[in-house]
Amino acid sequence: MCDTLPGADDNGTGVVGLLQIMKQLKNDTLGKYCFEVVAYTLEEPPFFATEYMGSFVHAESLHSRGVDVFGMVSLEMIGYFSDAKKSQDYPLKFLRFFYGNVGDYITVVRKMNKGPFARNFSGKYKKSKKVRTKKFTGPQKLTGIDFSDHRNYWHFEYDAIMLTDTAFYRNKNYHRSTDTVDTIDFDRMAAVIDGVLWTLRRMN
């Protein structure tokens, strides 16, 4: 079972990201926006893609209350990087010609018909130059593009993106006992988080 495995990248790195964002932004107003840091449960099977996912419950509660959501950022696996050739796979093989075959970057994942938040955030995040960044936009039916909590905000027509090291397309420790802390690139993971902070402080 997944809950008995170390889970260093999936999803210890995302939790670290949340904790650091809370710590660094505790005295920030972020302009006109109300800012929530939310940790979700039940993201994995057998609850994945059901109404029992914690993120579904949260997104549904926002929707039912008529809350105007500017955007959502899902911190998925953000700590595994490799500079080795052929360390990066894709759901479609031809994508390697556009994105390369080296897993040395973080990805900002957006769906087709992205909204103003996704465009604004992804553009600013890449501009921060905190970490090597690539933007990916694709249809929701593409395998992996909605394999995290942002999927439920898309369901309720909220603008959302996922930050990810691409999970099993790069990290072969995914859902294995080898997903241990010694495989994490802490310098680049910290840079991913710094990029989030830099971007959020400049959203408009």
The structural domains of the chain, with segments of one domain joined by +, span 2-200
Quick one: which H or E segment has residue 160? strand 160-164
Going through 16-158 in order, the beta strands assigned E by DSSP cover 72-75, 106-111, 133-138
Q: What is the pLDDT of residue 114?
A: 86
Q: What is the pLDDT of residue 4?
A: 60
Residue from 82, 140, 85 nearest 106 by CA: 82
Q: Between the CA of residue 124 and those of 106, 199, 200, what are the distances in Å? A: 14, 6, 9
Per residue of the chain (204 residues), give pLDDT as tens.
445 668 999 999 999 999 999 999 988 878 788 889 999 999 999 999 999 999 999 999 999 999 999 999 999 999 999 999 999 999 999 999 999 999 999 999 999 988 999 999 999 999 999 999 999 999 999 999 999 999 999 999 999 999 999 999 999 999 999 999 999 999 999 999 999 999 999 987
Q: What is the pTM of this model?
A: 0.94
Q: Of 3.40.50.1370, 1.10.540.10, 3.40.630.10, 3.40.50.10260, which CATH number belongs to 2-200?
A: 3.40.630.10
Specify whether the CB–CB gap between 43 and 53 falls below 8 A.
yes
Residue from 191, 37, 198 nearest 125 by CA: 198
Q: Between the CA of residue 189 and those of 152, 168, 193, what are the distances in Å? A: 25, 17, 7
Q: What is the pLDDT of residue 161?
A: 97
Structure tokens at 64: 């039912």
